[in-house]
Structure 1
Amino acid sequence: MKVGIMGGTFDPIHYGHLLAAERAREACGLDEVWFIPSFQPPLKDNEPNADTNARLEMVYRAIDFQPHFRAMDIELERGGTSYSIDTVKSLQENYPGRTFSYIIGSDRVNDLPQWHRIEELARIVAFIGVERPGESIDVSSLPVYIQDRLTIIGMPLIDISSTEIRQRQADKRSIRFMVPEKVYSFIKRNALYEKPE
């Protein structure tokens, strides 16, 4: 079974994440895509705004209509900094018989050489780089051991980011149609990302 891994804080998950996962699944013949919210990503300085339970719940709500998508709490349960190498080794141990590929945005592809134990990681997973219009990936600048394990796929430009969603919610502006309806309802009901009065 071929499994794509979508990692990130998902703070909150939005339609851009879902479209990237579906494009990767289709283009690379993946059987499933597993969404794995990170506890604390190593290349981001800020703590996630929503707590771990809320972020995981939003992922569950966002993907419940798609039988090929699954949510996994492996990094939230482990806590601490979420290194991809540790996650993949745990997944291989707990789910034998599967091959894993990381689905990452074009901005993260260029960061790959900075990933923790990247040479070891590149030996055990492949990478699927999602390239959006206007965001070119300079594959030639990457080490050969990454180039050999990297597939680039295209994706339409959807200019939505979790940062923008949080800011709009804090400013009391609409976030409807940026996130799935069940995620929207969860954010509103729990007053996530709102500024205190």
Structure 2
Amino acid sequence: MKIGLYFGTFNPIHIGHLIIANHMAEYSGVDQVWMVVTPHNPLKKKETLLDDYQRLHLVFLAFEDYPKIKPSDFEFKLAQPNYTVNTLAHLQDKFPTHEFSLIMGEDNLKTFHKWKNYDVILKHHDVFVYPRISSEADNNQFKNHPKIHLIDAPVVEISATFIRDNIKAKKNVQPLLPSKVWEYIDHNNFYKK
């Protein structure tokens, strides 16, 4: 089975994530997309980051009607801080018949050379890159790499920071969130302080 791994804090999950994950599930050749919720890094300030399991629950709510997209708490079980190369090794060990690839935004591709053991990732895994709006010159060293696949996906520029800031400012962000996610956030008064 071919699995696309979409990593993120998803704080909160929003329709931009949903659009990209669904596009990857339908058009990239993977059988499933796993939404890998990144746990809170104890070395970083928490500020507005919801509890790991609250964010995982929001991902469940967002994708319960999408059979090709699965929430994943896999990284919750690994030592922190964790690196993508380690997660991939653990996943391959646990699911030896699966073929794992990464899903990332074009902005992450620009710093991919700084990732721990990025060359090992590229040796063993495909990387699917969705477009982002950028004012930087298009001179990425990985653009022509055989393991890098640029996906002609919709450009979605919605940020979780924008959503959190505007919930706090008492603005209506409901259209930017899956309805069940919005209801859960609103009911629990998340991001209001």
Per the normalisation by structure 2, the TM-score is 0.90
Whole-Å separation in 2 of the counterparts to 1:139 and 1:98: 33
Quick one: which amino acid aligns to residue 183 of structure 1?
V
User: In terms of mean alpha carbon deviation, does 132-141 or 79-88 score higher?
Assistant: 132-141
For the 8 Å contact 1:106–1:136, the answer to whether it is kept is: no
Instruction: Say if 1:132 and 1:154, in contact at 8 Å, map to a contact too.
Output: no
Counterpart in the other structure of 1:190: 188
Q: Distance in 2 between matches of 1:98 and 1:35?
A: 16
Runs of 4+ in 1 over 6 A off after TM superposition: none
Structure 2 residue aligned with 1:124: 124
SS in structure 2 at match of 1:141? coil
Q: Within 5 Å, which residues of 2 pair with 1:1-40?
A: 1-40=1-40
Cα separation, 2, equivalents of 1:137 and 1:93 = 39
Separation in 1, partners of 2:97, 2:162: 39
Where does the alignment leave 5 or more consecutive residues of structure 1 unmatched? none
Cα deviation for residue 79 of structure 1 reads 5.0
Is the alpha carbon distance of 1:125 and 1:33 closer, same or farther for their aligned partners in structure 2, counting shifts above 3 Å?
same
Percent identical among aligned pairs is: 28
Compute the displacement of 1:132 (Å): 3.6
Aligned residue number for residue 174 of structure 1: 172
Residue equivalent to 2:56: 56
Q: 1:39, 1:82 within 8 Å by CA — same for their partners in 2? A: no
Give, in whole Å, the separation in 2 of the partners of 1:107 and 1:36: 18
Partner residue, 2:83: 83
CA contact (8 A) 1:166 1:193 kept: yes
Counterpart amino acid of residue 60 in structure 2: Y
Structure 1 residues 17-73: Cα deviation after superposition (integer angstroms, max 9, x where no partner)? 1111122222321100000011147xx965461110111000010010000011110
Amino acid at match of 1:167: D
CA 1:57–1:5 in 2, change beyond 3 Å: closer, same or farther? same
Rounded Cα–Cα distance in structure 1 between residues aligned with 2:151 and 2:136: 11
Amino acid at match of 2:174: R
State the Cα RMSD in Å.
2.3
Residue 33 of structure 1 aligns to a residue whose secondary structure is strand
Residue of structure 2 equivalent to 1:69: 69
The secondary structure found in structure 1 opposite 2:174 is coil
How far residue 148 of structure 1 moved from its aligned partner, in angstroms, is 2.1
